[in-house]
Structure 1
C-alpha cells in the first residue's frame, strides 16, 4: 500500500497550507502542480520551487519529482500578476530611480522587482512546435492537405502564403533565440513538413532544403530589423561595435553558444541605463551591510540587463568587474546569475547529476587500460571512501584523465606553503581551482577559484562545489573554456548539465554514448 505524502506549500505572505496526497507523491511535476492547484484552489498560473538543502535551504525550481521527499516544503511562484492575497512573499520595492521624463517637482519612479528572476525567453525545445499561421494561410493549408491525402499532390505555395509561413516560423524561433545553428534550421524545416506534409519539396533528398534556405534568409533579414529597433543581442554584432582594424561582420560574433537563454536581454520596461546605473552604485554600499541578502538579490535582478550588456559589449577584465559588481563575486549570487542566463539551477543540478552519473562513469573508467587505465584505477580506489566530497573530487579528476586532459590544470594543489608563496603561485595561474593544504596557522584546507591570476572566491567547502562555481563563472563573465580543459567543460556542460546537448565533439559524444 502506498504511504500518503504530506507537503507544506507556501502560497504567499502569511499564507501557507498543508497538502496531503493519500496516494503518495505523483509521478511527475505536472501531476503535482495539478494536485496542489485543486487542493489549494489556485486559479492563477504558477510554478513550484522546493527548499533545497544543497543550497542552504534556498528555494530552487522543481524540475524533477525525484528531488522531493515526504514532508518537503514547496513554494508557489505565480507566473503572472498575483492577486493581493497571494502575492509573492519575496517581492520588495527597490530604491527609487529618477525618471528621465520626470517633472520639475522631482517625482521619481519606483521600480518594483521580485528576487526571483523570470526570463522572457525559453530554452530550445526538443521538438520544435510549428505555430498556427494566419487565418487565411491555415485555410489554404487545410485545402492543400485534403488534396494531398486524396491524390498525393504537393502544394507549391504562392509568395504570400510562403511569406506568412516563414514569418510565423520566425516569430516562434525568436521566442528562444535569434541565432540558429545549422542543425536547428534543419529541426525547424523538418517540423514544418511533418506538420504540413503537403509542403514537402519534390526532388529534395530531405524534402525541406528549400525551406531551410528560405528560413536562413528570413531570419537574417529579421535580425536586420531587430538591429534597427535596438535589440541589444543583435546590436552587439553591429559594425560600430567591432574594432576598427577588424571591422567585418564575421569577426567576433557575440551570440549564445552554450545553451544561454537570456544571453543579452534588453533593459526592463520603464527603466533606463541611467536609472540602472544609480542602482548599481547603491549596490556598492549594500554589499557592506550585514543581513542584506534579499535587498542585494533584488537589485542584482533589476540590474541584470545592464550587467550582461557590459559583459557582452565591453568584455571587461575581472579586476574591473570586481570593482563595479562586487555582489556578483559570491557563491549564492553566481548561482542566481547562472539561473538568470540559462533558467537552470547551477549548484544543485551539477552535484546531483554528478552523483547520478557516478556509477556509469566508474564503469567507463574501468574499461580503460595502459597508463591512462592505471591513473583512472588510482582515482577509482580513492572513490571507495565514504566521504562524498572526496568522491566527487576524484570523479572530476578522473573525467579529466579520461578525456586526455591534465587534472592538475583544473585543480592546483599547494602543500605546506606560506601565504606569500601561495599568493605568488596563484598570480601566475590563468584559470582554475586552488586547494591549499598544510598552510601554517590553518587547520583546514582552503578551496577557491582563480581567474586571470585573481582569487575570485575562497573558503569554499570542496573541489566539486568550486568546479561548479567556476563553470558558472564562465557564463557570468561570457568567457571561453580554457583550451587545455575544453573537453572536460564541454562534458560538464552538455552531458552533466544538459545545456545545448545536441552538438558534441567526438570525445564528448563517445563518452555520452558509453554512458547511455
Structure 2
C-alpha cells in the first residue's frame, strides 16, 4: 500500500503562513519541529498546536505525533526565553511577526483568509467556537494580563495581579461599545439601493400619505425599504423632530417602526407584562398612599381604571411634577397632555383624549393614558431622543422591566420597585 502524504498549513508567525508536504508521518513531535525549523529557517524555539477537526477547529497542543491529522493546520507558538517575563501558564503569547509591520491579530487574519475564499469560491466564513462576540471573564483576564506583560509600565501598583483594573476597564469598554452599536443601530442599505434611489422612495411615501384612500400595505413596504436611510437621518443628522415628521409622515405608524428597531411587538409585549404586574402595582400603590396619608375614597374609583398602574409608576418612584393648568407646548420637549379633564377631579385619569407632544409638536392623539404612555416611549426610541430628566425613572422602568430592553444596571428606585414586584409574585 502506497504511503500517504501529509499536507500541513503551517502558521510560522501572525502574518506568515506556509504550506508543507510530508511523504510520511514523522517519528515524533520533535522530529516535526526540526523539519519545520529547517524548511522555514526559524531561529527560535516553539511549541506546536493544531486545529482539531473533532472539536470544530479548536486549538489543541500537539503532544503525540499520532494525533496529527493527515491534512492539518499547524501553528508554531514561540516559547519566550526572557527570564523577566511575568506571563503565567494561562497566557498564550502569540509568535512575533517576522516583518517590521504591525502584527495582525488572529481574528483579522481569519477574516482576511475568509474574504479571499469568498472572492474565489463564494463560500461564506464558518466561525469556530474560538471566535466569540461575548468573551468570558477568564478570556478578558487573559487579555488584561497579556497587556501588562507586554507593557510593564501599565502595571497597577498595589494590585495583587497588576492588571485587575485593566480587566474591569476592558469589560466596561466592550459593554459601552456594544450598547452604542445597539442604540445607534444603522443598518446597511438594501442590495441594489443607494441614497438617491431611497430618496425617491421617500417621496413616494409622502405622496401616498397625502392620498385620501391610502394604500397602507404599500406604505408599510416602502417604510421597510427606506428604514436604513431613515435611521441614518435620525441618528447621524440630528434633525429636529418637526422636520423628521415632515420628511417621514408615515412615521406616525409608530408600532411598526418600533418593531423594525427592536424586533418586538410593542403593544402585545407592553400590555401582557403590565397585566401580569397590575395586581402587584395596585397593592404597592395602596401601601405607598397609606404611608403618605393620601388614602381616600377616590382611590376606589381610580383602581377601576385600566391604565392606573402606568400613571401610578410616577408615585411609586417620586419625581418632579411637571403638570400645569395651562401648559405652553412650544418649548416642551416631551409630554403627555390630558385634554378635557380637570386635574383635581377623578376624571383626570379618564380624559377625552391624550396628546403626545414631542418638541412642541402634537404627534398623535390617543384616548387611553396607558396607550399614550407606550406611544411616547416608542417615539423616544424611533426618534433617538433622551428620556425627560424628571421622568427618567418611569421610562427606565418601562424600558428595562416591562419591555425587557437593554437589560443592564437599574437605577436605585427602579431596582427597588422591581424587587418589590418580584417579591409579590
Is TM (by shorter chain) over 0.5? yes
CA distance in 2, matches of 1:216, 1:438: 47
| Cα distance in 1 for residues equivalent to 2:263 and 2:335 | 25
Residue of structure 1 in register with 2:316 after alignment: 402
Matched, 1:158 2:93: yes
- In structure 2, do the counterparts of structure 1 residues 475 and 206 end up closer, same or farther at CA, with 3 Å as the change threshold? farther
Name the residue aligned to 2:333. 430
TM-score (norm 1): 0.50
Equivalent pair of 1:283/1:296 in contact (CA under 8 Å): yes
- Determine the structure 2 residue equivalent to 1:13: none
Deviations 1:295-335 (CA, angstroms, capped at 9, x unpaired): 00000001111011001111111111121111112xxx211
How many Å apart are 1:338 and its aligned residue? Answer: 0.8
Asked if the contact 2:107/2:131 (under 8 Å) is kept, the reply is no
1:254 touches 1:312 (CA, 8 Å); kept in 2?
no
Q: 1:287 to 1:256 in 2, by over 3 A?
A: farther
Please list, as runs of the form range in 1=range in 2, the aligned pairs for 1:95-494 lying within 5 A after superposition: 135=51, 138-140=58-60, 154-159=89-94, 163-164=105-106, 172-173=132-133, 188-190=135-137, 192=139, 256=179, 260=182, 263-289=185-211, 290-329=213-252, 333-368=253-288, 372=292, 374=294, 381-385=300-304, 390-392=305-307, 394-406=308-320, 409=323, 425-437=328-340, 445-458=352-365, 460-494=366-400
CA distance in 1, matches of 2:331, 2:297: 29
SS in 2 for 1:450: strand
Separation in structure 2 between the aligned mates of residue 457 and residue 313 of structure 1, nearest angstrom:
25
Q: Measure the CA separation in 1 of the matches of 2:293 and 2:95.
A: 62
SS of alignment partner, residue 405 of structure 2: coil
Q: CA deviation at 1:368?
A: 2.8
Unaligned runs of 5+ in 1: 1-133, 144-152, 174-186, 221-252, 415-421
What is the rounded CA distance, in whole Å, between the counterparts of 2:214 and 2:228 in structure 1? 25
| CA distance, structure 1, for counterparts of residue 394 and residue 61 of structure 2 | 48
In structure 1, C-alpha distance between the alignment counterparts of 2:222 and 2:372, rounded to whole Å: 25
Structure 2 CA distance for aligned equivalents of residues 171 and 334 of structure 1: 37
**Whose radius of gyration is greater, 1 or 2?**
2
Which residue of 1 is the match for residue 407 of structure 2? 501
- For 1:82-93, list aligned pairs within 5 A: none
Gaps of 5+ in 2: 1-49, 64-87, 97-103, 111-126, 150-158, 343-350
3-state SS of 1:481 partner? coil
- What TM-score comes out, normalization by structure 2 length? 0.59
- Which secondary structure state, in structure 2, belongs to the residue aligned with residue 391 of structure 1? coil
Q: Secondary structure at 2:364's aligned position in 1?
A: strand
Q: Aligned-pair RMSD on alpha carbons?
A: 4.3
Equivalents in 1 of 2:177, 2:90: separation in Å? Answer: 39
